[in-house]
Amino acid sequence: MTEATRRTIGEMSTDARILYDVLVSRMVKGGEDFVPYTDLTKVIGGRNVQNGARGLLYTARKNVERDYNLLLESVRSEGVKKVQVLSGVVEGTVRHIGRMSRRTVSRVVNAAADRDMSNDERVEVGVQLSLLGAIQQFTKPKARKLLEGKVKANESKELPTADTIRLFAEK
Residues 89 and 159 in one domain: no
Residue-wise pLDDT for 65-107, tens only, equals 999 999 999 999 999 999 998 888 989 999 999 999 999 999 9
Residues 103 and 165 in one domain: no
pLDDT number for residue 16: 96
Residues 52 and 97 in one domain: no
CB 94 within 8 A of CB 148: no
**Spatial distance between the Cα atoms of 171 and 158, rounded to a whole number of angstroms:** 19
CATH number (domain holding residue 71): 1.10.10
Of 37, 30, 27, 107, nearest to 63 (Cα)?
27
Query: Considering its fold, how many domains does the chain have in total?
Result: 3
Residues 57 and 124 in one domain: no
pLDDT number for residue 169: 81
Q: Which residues of the chain have pLDDT under 70?
A: 1-10, 156, 171
pLDDT number for residue 82: 96
Domain that holds residue 108: 85-139
Residues 11 and 54 in one domain: yes
pLDDT number for residue 8: 45
Residues 123 and 146 in one domain: no
pLDDT number for residue 9: 52
pLDDT number for residue 159: 83
Residue 79 parent element (H or E): strand 79-82
Domain end (from 42, 61, 82): 82
> CB within 8 A of 68, min separation 6: which ones?
24, 28
pTM of this prediction? 0.70
